[in-house]
Structure 1
Amino acid sequence: MTVLRLGASRAVLELREYFREGLQVVFTFALPFLLLLLFTSVFGQGFAGGSAGAAAYYVPTLTAMGLMAVSFQNLGTAIAAERGDGTLRRLRGMPLPAAAYFAGKAGMVLALAVLQTALLVGTGAAGFGMDLPADPRRWLDLAWILLLGTAACTLLGIAVSSAARTARAAQAVVALPFLLLQFASGVFVPVQALPPWLLNVGAAFPLRWMAQGLRSVFLPESAAAAEAGGSWALGTVALVLAAWCAGGSVLCLLTFRWKGARDG
């Protein structure tokens, strides 16, 4: 219980520090919103239902992108910066359990993920006339996909933070694979338009399955035929995301460092 209380307090502190960084907040939350506006306006006529149909496709895919941005991308660069400026080393010397530090990071990411999901879904419904699911089971699917996907990407963000020697290098280490995965996972381009080899690359990582699972929440059942396997395959979505949670945990244990390269 002490670790949980400390983790909750740490999460509140992390959120306060995050929202003090105005540019980071604007970039994280404005980019998916602007992409939704752009894609829906440009490609709306190519979808059944016009803008509402385009929003029903791009809201879940951009939500998946946003979840990975607030977890994998933000944590990968933020923790690398904390390691580089000595923050992690100082925290390690304080009577703060390591579990509380990681719980604080996870709590911050979860709060940002829920907020970003609510903003995108609300924008799609209020701004473009996207229909919201009437079946409660779809909202349950949204909840577990959000939790599992965010957990997997959070663990990957913590692990990848040790791959760069400096905070500046972390930007490239994190941003490049994230950008490539967005194209390989059907975020910007529908999966049926992607070549098989690129789909296979995307299938090895969580983003592809997060996007597919979230599409099952907002798109009609008939849209499953356009997926790579011809179905939503929610069992596979759950299995892959759970496997990445387990694998990410192992990677964190094997790679995480409290000290930077200059600290010895």
Structure 2
Amino acid sequence: MSALRVLWHAVALQVALSRRSPEHALVLLIAPMQTTTMLALTAHRPDVTANAVLAPGLIGLWVAALDYAGRVVTEDRWAGRFPALVTAPVPLGLVVAGRVATVVVVGAAAFAESWLVAALGFGRVLAVADPALFLLAVAVTCLATIGTATLMSAVFVMSRARDVLQNSLGYPFYILGGILVPVAALPGWLHPLSRVVFLSWSAELLRGAVRGDAAAWPGSVAAILALGAAAMAAGLWLTRRYVDRTRRDGTVGFA
């Protein structure tokens, strides 16, 4: 079976599971509230409307990936799906990537929600100077999020401190990723760390598309895709290692 067919069947599986358990879409309820809070706090600063509208969208993507990726394989084990997935003649990593992709695409709707809340609720319409670049930025950000989520899924399931890791990867990445404030406003010693977080490139690219001054956008797109691809490769490798370990230890059927 080709990789594309595996991904397609994984997406179909996740759609079926989400119909029975749609809590993965709760991020769509959080984004409007976050937008409302940020716009209320910046009511007298129309110059930061872009930050207030874009931040909830990026947070929505990260939360969707972080929250679901941390539970995908663990939930499969508790639900009894893990043995069937492991014995199937397809890489488990691709199945995880396809399922995470489904959730990430849903989370991307937070961008539209934030825009609507700003326009209808506050009368602050965010005009996008370069719509084509903006859509490209959202697309590559989603791809990088899928790769990063696949890596986190493998790390979390192999870790004995999954809950601690999940809880610690929220706000630090909102800061390092330049979501709440631009990276340029952070202390200089944090800039190198920010550059290994794809969100920092995404946030700058999205803001540049809104303003219409993203002259160096090819480099930003390349950086986002490279970081996402590296995370995906590491995630697939770690997932394969985890499957091999459970087979070797005879713990495939143990929840």
Structure-2-length-normalised TM-score: 0.78
Please name the residue that 1:245 is paired with: 228
- Aligned counterparts of 1:61 and 1:7: Cα–Cα separation in 2: 29
Alignment of 1:99-110 (within 5 A): 101-102=95-96, 104-110=98-104
Q: C-alpha displacement at 1:82, in angstroms?
A: 3.0
Alignment of 1:1-264 (within 5 A): 2-3=5-6, 5-19=8-22, 21=23, 25-26=25-26, 28-45=27-44, 47=45, 50=46, 53-83=47-77, 86-93=80-87, 98=92, 101-102=95-96, 104-128=98-122, 129-133=124-128, 135-165=130-160, 169-221=161-213, 233-256=216-239, 257-258=242-243, 259=246, 263=251
Checking the alignment, whether the CA contact within 8 Å between 1:185 and 1:202 is kept in structure 2 is yes
Cα deviation 1:118-165 (Å, max 9, x = unaligned): 212222333232233254423433443343333333333333333423
Checking the alignment, whether the CA contact within 8 Å between 2:144 and 2:224 is kept in structure 1 is yes
- Aligned counterparts of 1:38 and 1:158: Cα–Cα separation in 2: 30
Q: C-alpha displacement at 1:9, in angstroms?
A: 2.0
Instruction: Compare 135-144 and 91-100 and name the one that shifted more.
Output: 91-100
Checking the alignment, whether the CA contact within 8 Å between 2:28 and 2:107 is kept in structure 1 is no
- Aligned counterparts of 1:94 and 1:123: Cα–Cα separation in 2: 44
Q: C-alpha displacement at 1:90, in angstroms?
A: 3.7
Cα deviation 1:8-42 (Å, max 9, x = unaligned): 421321332441x3xx643x233333222112211
Q: C-alpha displacement at 1:97, in angstroms?
A: 6.3
Structure 1 residues 96, 239: CA separation in 2 closer, same or farther (over 3 Å shift)?
closer
Checking the alignment, whether the CA contact within 8 Å between 2:62 and 2:145 is kept in structure 1 is yes
- Aligned counterparts of 1:6 and 1:235: Cα–Cα separation in 2: 33
Give the length in aligned residue pairs.
Answer: 243
Cα deviation 1:181-230 (Å, max 9, x = unaligned): 11222222343431111232222111212222222232353xxxxxxxxx
Instruction: Compare 94-103 and 83-92 and name the one that shifted more.
Output: 94-103
Cα deviation 1:46-65 (Å, max 9, x = unaligned): x3xx3xx4332122222122
Segments of 5+ residues of structure 2 without an aligned counterpart are: none
- Aligned counterparts of 2:103 and 2:116: Cα–Cα separation in 1: 20
Off by >6 Å, runs of 4+ in structure 1: none
Instruction: Compare 209-218 and 253-262 and name the one that shifted more.
Output: 253-262
Q: C-alpha displacement at 1:112, in angstroms?
A: 1.1
Instruction: Compare 131-140 and 64-73 and name the one that shifted more.
Output: 131-140
Structure 1 residues 123, 85: CA separation in 2 closer, same or farther (over 3 Å shift)?
same
Give 3-state SS (helix, strand or coil) of 1:263's partner: coil
Segments of 5+ residues of structure 1 without an aligned counterpart are: 222-230
CA RMSD of aligned residues (A): 3.1
Structure 1 residues 62, 203: CA separation in 2 closer, same or farther (over 3 Å shift)?
farther
Structure-1-length-normalised TM-score: 0.76
Give 3-state SS (helix, strand or coil) of 1:240's partner: helix
